Amino acid sequence: MSEQVINEQALLTSATILQLSGEAPEQRRATRLLADLRAGEPVADLLNETKPLGPGRFGAGLEDSAILLAVYSALQAFWKVYLEKLVATGAEKASNLTAALLDKLFEQNLEGSERDKTISEIKKCLEVEAHKRKISQAKLKKLLEAVDKLGKK
């Protein structure tokens, strides 16, 4: 998953959490950083802007900056792991859907106007492999006859 997507999701979720926790100034900063990131600013530059240049009056402002960085960093780590799991799960589901779709399309080809072409292609592939593996002509003939029966009820 792209770092851009992970960084955007981390900032978007950070803004939501900061808003829900009552950290309105930090929520606004996270929202501003997200807009800047989407405008093409490198995330490292944006994060450097959130670091305090020095302690404010009696250290004021240090904790606020730390809050945004802590929330952002935690969510960046979360989104990396979460998206990896999501992609893996999605790939598995897509694979299952693809297999089911392929089965359906293959069945339709065997029952429809594409039957002869499909059977012919299977036979060609089978003949090539049988020749490579030195399968006897008698066995190959039985296999080719079985291919002719595919899809017939």
Question: What one-character-per-residue DSSP string does 43-59 give?
Answer: HHHHHHHHS-SS--GGG
- Calpha distance 33→38 (Å, rounded): 9
pLDDT at position 126:
95
Residue 137 identity (one-letter amino acid): Q
pLDDT-based confidence at residue 129 (cuts at 50, 70, 90): very high
The pair of three-digit structure tokens given for residue 52, joined into one six-digit string: 């305090």
- Calpha distance 145→123 (Å, rounded): 9
Quick one: what percent of the chain has pLDDT higher than 70? 84
- At 17-60, the pLDDT tens digits run 999 999 999 999 999 999 999 999 877 766 665 544 444 444 44
User: 């080809």: which residue's tokens?
Assistant: 109
- What's the whole-number average pLDDT of the chain? 85
**In terms of pLDDT, which residue wins out, 139 or 58?**
139
For the whole model, what pTM was predicted?
A: 0.57
Alpha helices in the chain (DSSP H): 3-20, 24-38, 43-50, 62-111, 115-132, 137-149
